[in-house]
Structure 1
C-alpha cells in the first residue's frame, strides 16, 4: 500500500474571515491579507494599463498577441498568489494552477523573438536570417559542442525546446492536483522518494531548464537582428520571475521547521506557503512595472492612425491555435526527418568558397559580376567524355540579378567632348 502524506495543513484554531466580532484585529495574519490584496490590486492596475495600450494600438497582430500573453504573467501570478494566501488550506492547488499557466508566457516570448528576427529577413522569413549565421559553439555549459544554424532542423529544434514545456508543465500540474487529492503528493515532506512531489519537481526542473536554454541560445544567435527591440529586458522580465519564485520557494522550504515555527493559527507549512505567496504578490508590483517598460506599446503607435478596438486583441491573445500549429508542424518535421525525407536534410554546400570569401572587400566589378572582375571563379567540371580537371562545379556570381537586364552604353551626343576618346564608354 502506497504511503499517504501526514497532515500538515490543519490547526485547532482557524481564522475564517477578515473581520472578527465587528472589529478588526490587526495581527500578522490580517496585515498579510491587506498587503497581499493591495499589491495584487496595484499589479492589476499596472498590467491592465499596459494591456489596454497595446489593445488600442494593435497594429502588428503577430507580435502584439505574443506581447499580451507575456503581460498577463505578473497579473495572473499576483491574483492566484493572493487567493492562495487568503485560502491557505488550498494553497497547493492554487500553486499548481499558477505553475501550469507559466508556460504560455515562455512560448509567447519565443514566438515574439522569432517575429522580430523575421522582420529583418527577406520575405519576413526567420529561416532566411539563419542563413547568415556561421557555425558556432553552444552557450555554456555545452560550449564544447558546435552547431550550424543553417541546418534545416535547427529552427524546429529551438522551437521545440520551448514547445515541450507547453505540454509537460500543464501535465505535471494535472498530475500534481490528482496526487494531492489522493494525499500522495506531500510537498511538506520535501524531496522524499516515497511521495510524488520529488518526481514531478525533477521533471519540471528538466523541462524548464531546456526551455530557458532554448531561449538563451536563440537570443545569443540573433542578438544583432534584435538590436533596438530591448531583447535582454524582455528576456529578463520572464527569467527573473522564474528565478525569484523558484529560489525563494526553495529557501522558505529550507527554513521550515528550523526558523519558521507553528503558531496558534497556522502550521509551519501554512506559514511557509503564506510567506511565499505574500512575497510573490509584492514582487509582481515591480515586475508588472518593469514589463510595462520592456514591452512598451510606444513602438507600435502610429501617428494619426485611429485607435483599434480591444476585443480582437484580447481574443487573439487567448486563442492558442498558433501554439497547436507550431506543435503539429514541429512534430511533422521530425517524423519526416526520421523517415529521411530529402527536404529535412541538407547536403554539402557547393559554394563553400563563395561563402568563405563573402566578407572580403570587393571592387565594383567583383560586386556586380561584370567582365574584368578579378573575383576567383571555379572551373567547370567537364560533362563530356571524362575531360576536365576533376574539380566539382562551383556556383559563380551572376552577371545580373535579372536575366533580362543588360548593361547598355549611356547615349553620348556627337558633339560631346568624349567623342575624341573612343575608348571611353559610359555606363
Structure 2
C-alpha cells in the first residue's frame, strides 16, 4: 500500500505541476488514484476481516467512476477543441474512422454514453443490495442460493461492468488512429487490467470456495480464503499497475516543451479543478435524457450537417 501510494501520488503531483490540459488531466488524475484506493481497501480488509464485506464495494464504486473518466478522456482525445455539449454527438459521428461504420449505427455515441455512465448507478445499486443483506444477515459470500444477497450483488455488478467495458472497447475500435497517437491502447489496457483482474478474481475465489475446491483448515481460516488471500494478491498487483501508469499516463506530454502555447494553471488551481466531480455527475444525469433516442433505429444519430463542417472537428459531414 505504501509503495502504491508513493507511485500514485508522485505521478499525480507531476500532472498537477504541468496542468495545461484540464479536460484531459482531470480524468488522468482520477484514474491514477485508482490503484491507491484499491490498495487502501485491500489493506483495510486484511487488517480486520469483520469490516471486509463493507469495505470491498468502495473499490468497486471508485472503479465505476474511473471507467467514466477514461471514457471522457477518450472523447477529449477525439474532439480536443470541443465540449461535452449537444454538438459533441455530431462531431463524434463524423469522426468515426472505420469505413462503413459512420452511418451503420446512427446512435452509437449516445448508446455508448448510456452504457458507460450507467455503471456507477448499477454499482451503487449493487452495493446497496450487499450492505442491506449483510446487515440483515442474508448475505453469504460463499453461497449462490437466491435466498442470499451475494447472487444478486454479483449479477447486478457483472451486468454493469460488462456493458461499460464493451462500450469503451467499441469506442476505441472506431477511433484507432486517434487513440494510437495518444497511446490509447496502453491507457485502456493499464486501467482495464485493474478492472478485469478485480472482477475475475472475485468470481474465481467465489467459485473455488462455493464448490469446496479450497477449504479452510486450522492454519488457513475461512476469512483467510475469503478476504485475506484475494486482497494480498490485489495489493501486490496495485504496485505493478501504479508503476505501469507512469508510462501509460505520463506527465511528460504536458510539459512546457510539448505544449509551449498552453497556459499552465497553478498547483492549487489544478488541484481544485481535478477534485471537481461535476462532469462525472452531469454525465450520469445526462443518460436519462439520452435514453429515449440512444437505442432508436432511425437514421441520423445526431443532427446531420450535409456539406457543412462540424464545429468541433472541422470535418465535413
CA–CA distance in structure 1, aligned partners of residues 280 and 62 of structure 2: 14
Which structure has the larger Rg?
Answer: 1
Q: Which runs of 5+ in 1 are unaligned?
A: 1-39, 138-145, 352-427
CA contact (8 A) 2:90 2:303 kept: no
Question: Structure 2 regions of 5+ residues with no counterpart?
Answer: 308-317
Confirm or deny that 1:52 pairs with 2:13: yes
Aligned pairs for 1:25-424 within 5 A: 40-119=1-80, 125=88, 127-133=90-96, 148=103, 151=106, 153-189=107-143, 191-256=144-209, 257-263=212-218, 267-303=221-257, 308-335=265-292
- Measure the CA separation in 1 of the matches of 2:199 and 2:290: 34
Bigger proportion of residues as helix: 2
Q: Residues 150 and 267 of structure 1: is their aligned pair in 2 closer, same or farther, counting only changes over 3 Å?
A: closer
Question: CA offsets, 1:318-376, max 9 Å, x none?
Answer: 322112222333422444779999997768x988xxxxxxxxxxxxxxxxxxxxxxxxx
Give the TM-score normalised by the residue count of structure 2. 0.83
Preserved CA contact (<8 Å) 2:45 2:52? yes
Quote how far apart the aligned CAs of 1:224 are: 1.2
Preserved CA contact (<8 Å) 2:98 2:175: no
Alpha-carbon distance, 1:314 to partner: 2.9
For residue 314 of structure 2, what is the aligned residue in structure 1? none
| Distance in structure 1 (CA, Å) of the matches to 2:296 and 2:264 | 50
Give TM-score scaled by structure 1 length: 0.63
Q: Bigger relative contact order, structure 1 or 2, given CA contacts below 8 A and separation 6+? A: 2
Contact map agreement 2:94 2:102 (CA 8 A) in 1: no
For residue 160 of structure 1, report the CA deviation from its aligned partner. 1.1
- Once the 2 structures are TM-superposed, how far is the Cα of residue 54 of structure 1 from its aligned partner? 0.4
The secondary structure found in structure 2 opposite 1:184 is coil
Q: How many residues align?
A: 300
